Chains A and B, each alone.
Chain A
Amino acid sequence: DSGVTQTPKHLITATGQRVTLRCSPRSGDLSVYWYQQSLDQGLQFLIQYYNGEERAKGNILERFSAQQFPDLHSELNLSSLELGDSALYFCASSVGISGTYEQYFGPGTRLTVT
């Protein structure tokens, strides 16, 4: 167990809807990363927060947004969902701001858009 928790485990929703995925980092970790894993694209970095501030952006769509709260948990909001958004969404945490720190991954949230 990495200490990173994600809820919910599974989410099934319809196209056009909006969902929120939640991540709690390991105790003491200030960075939270969000990744999307799909069969054809592999593991794609979406966005990183460090101590409440956005620090890096990857291939994140404009329909997606995230935030990190004062207690360091993070939420990823996905709106106007499309079939292609079906994927496994991971969050990871690390103690530092740089990608050189080991990242600890959560179990993922499997999103199915029908």
Chain B
Amino acid sequence: AQRVTQPEKLLSVFKGAPVELKCNYSYSGSPELFWYVQYSRQRLQLLLRHISRESIKGFTADLNKGETSFHLKKPFAQEEDSAMYYCALSGRHSGNTPLVFGKGTRLSVIA
């Protein structure tokens, strides 16, 4: 069964401090991992996906298959990063496998 765990409901950091939002997953096959973000009063939107290996808004995430993790990192947090972040998993090459979301972590960046 697919499962995504985000251990922190809330993470508060000071502006300029490094940020790491944790995500662990459980999946027996080859996963594709995503981070979705929901800013205040905005829609949920894709932030990044591991397969593209991009850095979006200064955020990066590396898939660690050994630790089954896909933590989201940013070296210097900005106030505009305050939002709800969801880690999600889909089974690659598994045909029709819906996205499974974690319960989310609310990031609060304090000025």
Contact = CB atoms under 8 A, between A and B. Distances in A.
Interface stretch (B13-21, B54-62, B67-75, B99-107): B99-107
B40 interface: no
Closest 10 pairs between A and B when the two form their complex, measured CB to CB: A99-B90, A42-B103, A99-B99, A105-B44, A43-B101, A56-B98, A105-B43, A99-B98, A100-B90, A100-B32
Interface string A26-68: 0000000101000001111100101000011010000000000
B103 A98 contact: no
Interface string A83-97: 000000010100001
Contacts of B44: 43, 90, 92, 105
A45 B43 contact: no
Contact of A103 (B91, B92, B96, B99): B99
Contact of B43 (A2, A35, A48, A55): A2
23 contacts: A2-B43, A4-B43, A35-B101, A42-B103, A42-B104, A43-B86, A43-B101, A43-B104, A44-B101, A45-B98, A45-B99, A48-B96, A55-B96, A56-B98, A92-B44, A97-B96, A98-B95, A99-B32, A102-B49, A105-B43, A106-B43, A107-B43, A108-B43
Interface residues of A, number: 27
Interface of B: 32, 43-46, 49, 86, 90-92, 94-104
Among A42, A43, A99: residue with most chain B CB under 10 A: A99
Contacts of A106: 43
Nearest to B97: A99
